[in-house]
Each structure stands twice: as structure tokens, then as C-alpha cells.
Chains A and B, each alone.
Chain A
């Protein structure tokens, strides 16, 4: 693929780029079977994880990915730094750039921050989630997981259920799947699903509509109460209205559909306990594939080249 410095959004990638990263992720996953689960591709390179929002999972996944490529990983701990005291992102980046980092992995609650950082420094910037905007590495691991399960994504149907409005996962994952030829639909309450005119994605209203539509994959989004300033839905309703209940799980099993979730799962909210043990529940595959996808992303970015975003 063409030299690329940053990965901020799925939009900025060509179809060829998407396929290259997915193909290389397959090769990366093969490394996990070796007795030495490490390759020297990024030996001597430094990777910084800069998370302004807590996320143990995504951060660890990137750190493991970087370690398996032999890069050195530095964790910028924000709780003890001045970042939380209102220091501007630009000043933080100036500080970090004097540390000569090659890759910076950023998560921030504001949409658009990684793009600002990418413009401001030579390091490769990977967006690990910005506000409600984008989460491209999650999109790759989701696409990779579906491709691994079904062979080809084109023609598959995926319904994404839950808080679409605030979800960067919904945005990035629906985008990559549509680019790869899948049909995507959103399902959720009106307060959490923007109109089709804005999203370009069809909206389903009930579980019955989902079962009639016959998706291959049901993708549940995490209910993120901490992000929401005033309630968008009555909390006690959620599982009955939008979650995978035991009764729905039986119908899912009967139709052989797969279940995905970006994690961490709120048991009893998005998924009933039994759903986690369902054979076509791909949540653990997603975690493992996350490392492979992130290795592929790290490998394909080249620090110091021109930004495409």
C-alpha cells in the first residue's frame, strides 16, 4: 500500500489499503502459533500510548501488538500528568515529540483530537477512539473476525444494535463493512439512532424486524452510561427492549447467527449470561484478532511520511 503516516479514519483509506491491512492481519495472527510470538519488524521503534480516556482493553491490545513487533512501548499515564489540568494537546505533543516517538496511539473524548495531533507531529498517529467519531482499529478487528468466520464479507448482513449516536465503533465498523460489500442496518431507540438521512444506514426498529431481515451477525454495542450527560433511555428498559434475552438467544441459535460485541460486555444488559457461552459468540475471537489487526496497522504505517488524513 502507498506510504501512509497516520490512521485516523476508515474514510481516508482506499479499498486496496483496507484489503492489504486485513490480509497482513492474517499473516500476523499466524505469528501467535509460533513458539516465539514475536517478530523483529519494528525493532528499535518506540510506541507511545496516550489515553486521555481510560480503556484497559484497547490499550493492552495495542501494547501487546507493539511488543509482538518488537517495538518499545511507553505508557503516558495521564492521571499523574498535567494533561488533566488543562494543558493544551499541542503542548503535550511538543513534550512527547522531544522524546522522539515513532508511533503515538491516542484516545480522547473529543472527536477530532487525533487529527490535530497527526498534523502537529512527525510520528505516526493511530486513532484509538476519539469521541463519537472513529475507532478504525476496532473496525479492522471486526471486519477481520467476520472474514475469518465467513470467508468473505461481501453480501453478508450485519445489524448493529444499541447506542449508535454516541458510538465511534458503530461509525467505523459499519463503514468498513459497507466498503467490503456487506449490508449493514442499525437497531435501537430513536434517541440513540440518528435518522437514515444522516447515517446512510437503514434502521430497524424491533427484534422481530431483525429476525425477519436475517442478518449473519448481530453486533451489540456497549451501553455507555458514563458518556451520557442526561438519560437517552430509561435504564431499566434496555435489556428487555434491545438486549439479547434468553428467548432471543434461542432464536439466534436456531438461525445460526453470530454475536459480536466490542467489550467489555455488561452482562444482563446487552447480553444475557448464556449468550457468552453460545458457540457463535465471537467476543473472544474479537479480542485475539484485535492484536493481529493492530499489529498489521502498526506495521503498515510509516512514521515521517506525508499524512493522508
Chain B
């Protein structure tokens, strides 16, 4: 059996040049690691030029390419309105691999309402068959994501291996229900993934309070709603002894609140959507519905504080917040159009082009926020087994650039802000 060799690859974290010998697909997973990051695909590693390569071996010259663990995404919606579940699963999987994402946490949605064992079972089965990427479902916090009655956490956690609970991004309308759920779930070691909000303050709001909101006549969404919600959730989790994961943190003050909570030892983790690092409300321009998001795009000072939070670890992960929306729905007026953008397809090229290349984020910080921390939080497992899954490796060629077109998008919809734009970097995943 011939092995495949990769020569001259650059290990993204240290910049070290290395040669690798890949495990053949049939072989067991290796126990090698670099910088304490497991290299499951790799049988042998040597400094560049020092590997003995048999003559008949297949050799991939990776000069100029980066080797790094693939990304894990803690925030995806895979439902494409109007399409079959099969197609939704297949397309999200393809899009993820294309963007360098090996696995994802799938949040519940109307078609994938993970509030019972049967739905979880059929989803896992379908995902195993249809998806090229790993898909871990998040169980519902409340039945039907309605925010009123608790989902059967024991069934979800002990029988179906659910580790994270989420009602999509809905804030529970009954906060007492959430408090009791957190108390109930104490011994199940579940993580409550919630987007902080005070719905009464954000209902019928569409943009950050700003010149944009005023000029376009869009009712402003006060940042204090998220900040009050953040405080509330932290106190609630603290009081109930639950683990909390704050979704889609979007304001500078939220970052400060989380920093203080972490300092006093609260078991809280947080994520930021990639679009909240990159864009401000000014992108909405003349009602560009692609930039309609929940929470809304905010000010540059918020973007800066969020990025700072990612760099110092206050914000643990960067997520795609991938949300497919049909082209027709996004052609409606700004108020009627659904919120969200698709990001999986372009995840790593966007991270590289917009953050790493301009020097705003290091590879080490990116790998922590997009590869290691999310896996640590989601802790994805083989079905019916206790072995944690580990990230495969990918090769990233920063020299090549591509223009994002309808043809290059596998996700099934077009609501990406990068359509027609040039992005740097091409992902090779999987390597074996």
C-alpha cells in the first residue's frame, strides 16, 4: 500500500516547515500532535526535507500552503426554506467542507425541532448518510422552541448524547422556565446556548441606533437590550449552577460584562458572528437586505471591542451564524425580509482575507477561536461512543484567490455579502 506524502507544508501556528506522511484512510487514527493539537490524519511528521519518501509514493508539494486543524462552527442554521431536509443537510455539509469547516453544531429550527428523541435520531441518521461534514444537533430548551414548557432534557442528554441546548436564537419568553431548566439540568452537564435579549425592547426593531437607522426610518434596536440580557443570563446561570454559552454577542459593553463574569469565575463562554467582526450598520446602505441580521450590525467601536474580546479570549469562538434565506425572501423590503447571511462556504477564506491578511488576527488566535475552543465546548462524540471526535487537518493555500459566484456556493442560497467579491485562499479538506 502506498502512502501519501505532503512536503514543505507550513504549520500555521509556528510557521515551521514540515513534511508529513498521511495515514491511509483505512488505518487507525494516529496519536501524534503538534503544539498539543492532535494530528489524527498523520502517521509521521518531520522537519521539511528530512522525510524519507519512497520513490513510488504519491507526493503533494505543499510549498507555500498552510497546514492547520479544520474549523468547527458552533452556530449554524441548516434549514433552507422550501427545500427538503435531505437537501438542507447535504448542502450545509458541502458548504462547510468548502469553507474549511469539518463539523458544526446545528441549531433547532422549525423543520429540525430537536425537542424529542425521534427527531434527533432521524436527523443523526440522515446527517451520517448525507453530510460530508460532522453535524451535531443542539437540543431544544423548550418544547417547539416556544419558550414555555421544558424539553425532556434527560432523554436528550442521557439517551441521545445532547450536550448543548438552544432554542435557535429565541429568548425564552418565560424566564422562570429557563431558571428552572438550568437548575434541573445541573447534573446533566448541559450547556445553555442563548442569545441575550430583552424582547420587549427589541421587538419591531431593525437596525442599530445610528444615522443609518434614522435615515432609513428603521426602528432602532437598543444595544442595552442585549447587555441587560447578558447580565440576566449570567446571573441566572450563576444562581442555577448551569453552564452558559452566550450566542451572537454584538456590543462592546456585552464583551465587558462577559470579561467581568469570567474574572469572577462564572462558567460562561461566548461567541461572536463573523459578520459582527467585519461589518457595521453603514453596509445596509440603501436597504441592502443581505446585511439584515439579528442582532443588527453595530458600530465600528463594537467591531473593535469584539475583535479585542476574541484576541484576549473573552469571546471564545467566532461562528458563521450561517442562515440560508431564499432569494425571493431577501428581495422583499428590509422590514419584511428575513435576517441572516450564509457564511459556511466562505468561512476560512473570509477569516483569512478580512482578518488574518490585514494583520487583525493571528493564525494562533484564529485557530483557538475557530478550531479548538468550539470543539472544546461542543465536545462532539461518535454516536453511542464516548470517544471525542477530533479535528481533521486541512491545507490552506493563501496564494490563490477566487471570486465568489453563484456556481462556487454550495449552500443553496445566495444571501452572502461576498457575492462577486474576490477572496484569498483555497481550502483542501479532507486531506486523505
Contact = CB atoms under 8 A, between A and B. Distances in A.
Interface in B189-215: 203-204, 209-211, 213-215
Interface in A252-289: none
B217 A133 contact: yes
B334 A111 contact: yes
Interface string A226-242: 00010000000000000
Nearest to A109: B335
Nearest to B213: A198
B334 A112 contact: yes
From A88, A111, A113, A171, residue with most partner B Cβ within 10 Å: A111
Contacts of A115: 286-287, 333
Interface residues of B, number: 22
Given A194-B209, A200-B211, A116 B217 contact: no
A112 B214 contact: no
Given A115-B286, A198-B211, A90 B335 contact: no
Contacts of B335: 110-112, 131
B252 to A, nearest CB: 16
A306 interface: no
Contacts of B334: 110-112
Interface residues of A, number: 25
Contacts of A309: 286
Contact of B204 (A11, A133, A229): A229
A130 B218 CA distance: 11
B209 A111 contact: no
Contacts of B219: 132
Interface string B410-424: 000000000000000
B217 A90 contact: no
Contacts of A200: 211
B216 interface: yes
A5 to B, nearest CB: 15
Contacts of B328: 90
A12 to B, nearest CB: 9
A112 B328 CA distance: 16
A116 B330 CA distance: 11
Nearest to A229: B204
A107 interface: no
B211 A116 contact: no
A112 B210 contact: no
Contacts of B218: 111, 131-133
A110 B336 CA distance: 8
A133 B216 contact: yes
A168 interface: yes
B180 interface: no
Contacts of B210: 198
A202 interface: no
Contacts of A112: 216-217, 287, 333-335
Nearest to B287: A112
From B209, B211, B216, B218, residue with most partner A Cβ within 10 Å: B216
A136 B309 CA distance: 44
B332 A89 contact: yes
From B219, B286, B287, B333, residue with most partner A Cβ within 10 Å: B333
B389 interface: no
Nearest to A11: B215
Contact of A198 (B209, B331, B333): B209
Contact of B333 (A11, A110, A132, A197): A110
A106 to B, nearest CB: 11
A199 interface: yes
Given A115-B286, A198-B210, A198-B211, A89 B333 contact: yes
B211 A113 contact: no
A111 to B, nearest CB: 4
A133 B213 CA distance: 9
A111 B217 CA distance: 6
Interface in B78-116: none
Interface string A57-85: 00000000000000000000000000000
13 contacts: A108-B333, A111-B217, A112-B333, A115-B287, A116-B287, A171-B217, A194-B209, A194-B214, A198-B211, A198-B214, A200-B211, A229-B203, A309-B286
Instruction: Report the 3 A-B pairs with minimum CB-CB distance, sorted nearest first.
Output: A133-B217, A132-B217, A111-B217
